[in-house]
Copies of this chain bind each other. A is one copy, B any other.
C-alpha cells in the first residue's frame, strides 16, 4: 500500500456528503515529511519531462507545490481566487464553480508568470469534480503553456474529474484514488 493511502486510513475522517477530512496532515495542519514524500513521488514520475514551473491554486495547493518544486529546482506559481470585478489587464482569468462552497470564484494569474515558454506540472490536494483543475488548464491554454502532467494527492474516483481529464489526454498522477467511502469505509482503486 502506498504512503498516501496508509495515511488516509490512519487519519482521514469520512463525513456526510462524501467529505473526506485530512486536515491533520494535508490541508490545515501540514506534515512536512509527508509533503516531501509527495514531492519525491511527483519528481520520480516527471523528472525527465522538462518541467519549468509547478502550478497550483491557493490555498492548500501551495504547500504541495512548494515541496514538489523544491525537488525540481523550479519556481511555484499559484493562481488566486478572487471575487473582484476590477482586475488588471495583465492577468489571465477563469471562472471556477465550487461544489463545496456553492459559489463561482474567479481564478486569476498574472500573465508575467506563465507564458508559452512554460511546461508545467499542475498539483493540488484533491481532485473530485475537477472544476478548479479545469480553471487552471484554461489559464494554461490562455498562456499557451504546455501541461506535462497533473499531480494529485487524493482523487475521489467516484466523482467525474479524474476520468474527464484522462479522457482529454492529460497525464493524471494520483497518489491515492478513493473508489468509495460508504459508511465510513474507505476503499482505494487498485
Residues of B within 8 A of A69 (CB): 30, 32
A37 is an interface residue with CB less than 8 A from chain B: no
Q: Is A28 an interface residue (CB 8 A)?
A: yes
For the complex, what is the distance from the CA of A36 to the CA of B74, rounded to whole Å? 13
Contacts A/B (CB < 8 Å), 9 sampled: A28-B77, A29-B75, A29-B113, A30-B75, A31-B75, A32-B70, A59-B62, A63-B76, A66-B67
A84-120, CB under 8 A of B: which get 1 and which 0?
0000000000000000000000000110110000000
Q: How far, in whole Å, are A65 and B31 apart by their CA atoms in the complex? A: 12
7 closest Cβ pairs, A-B complex: A58-B59, A30-B76, A59-B59, A29-B113, A62-B62, A29-B77, A66-B66
Q: Which of A62, A63, A70 has the most CB of B within 10 A?
A: A62
Interface size class of A (residues with CB under 8 A): 20 to 34
Query: For A18, what are the chain B residues with a Cβ–Cβ distance below 8 Å?
Result: none
- In chain B, what residue has the closest Cβ to A58? B59
Please indicate the chain B residues that have their CB under 8 angstroms from the CB of A28 in the complex. Answer: 77-78, 80, 109-110, 113
A23 within 8 A of B: yes
- Cα A58 to Cα B154 in complex, Å, equals 21
A34 to B, closest residue via Cβ? B75
Does A35 make an interface contact (CB < 8 A)? Answer: yes
Q: Is A24 an interface residue (CB 8 A)?
A: yes
Determine the chain B residues whose CB is within 8 A of the CB of A31 once the complex forms.
75
